[in-house]
Amino acid sequence: MNQPTIKSLQEQLVAHKHLLQMLGETIAKTERDLQQLLNQPNPPLPRLNADVGNYPENTDLLNLFQDAPEPVPEPCPGEGILRRKDTLSNKSYHGVTQEDIDNPKKRLPKFWQPGYFCEVPPNYPTPQWDTYDQAKFCTNCVMIKKNKQTIVYQCLGH
């Protein structure tokens, strides 16, 4: 192992002293700049008047608020259960999920895709994806297939 020489230690000491001197100058300059900012007078804040109608320069602001349209309420997705959330589109969907389709116990038709649901006669017991009134179940859907007793729809997301 190499032992440092006295000369190398002296050179390191000189370099460290130089760095400390530069750092001290930077600190001193920052303190002076801060003191100058603190000594500057603060500009006066503008006065606000409660009665803006008496001042012509404020009428544009009043007109802006008077002409603003009413906010549009979010559309209701319907009464059906939103069972699936797509993280890419940030939309939620009614109807079957991929897990339902993959589960043989659910006995779903082979053509069904995630988001499908069915309008059925009043004796079907699957409220997750069966309904008696499509318009109440989902407000954003398209018809996929119509049979004698059932109509299959696909939810387009909410």
Tens digits of per-residue pLDDT, 71-80? 555 567 888 8
What is the structure's pLDDT at 120?
86
Q: Are 27 and 89 members of one domain?
A: no
Mean of the pLDDT values across residues 141-147?
91
Domain, as residue range, for 93:
84-155
CA distances from 71 to 63, 91, 155 (A): 17, 21, 26
Q: Alpha-carbon distance 94 to 138, whole Å?
A: 7
Alpha helices in the chain (DSSP H): 6-39, 59-66, 98-102, 134-137
Longest dimension (CA), the chain: 101
Q: Are 93 and 37 members of one domain?
A: no
- The number of domains in the chain is 2
| 74 located within any domain | no
| 97 located within any domain | yes
Higher pLDDT, 47 or 82: 82
Higher pLDDT, 126 or 86: 86
Q: Alpha-carbon distance 82 to 115, whole Å?
A: 9
What is the structure's pLDDT at 121?
82
| 50 located within any domain | no
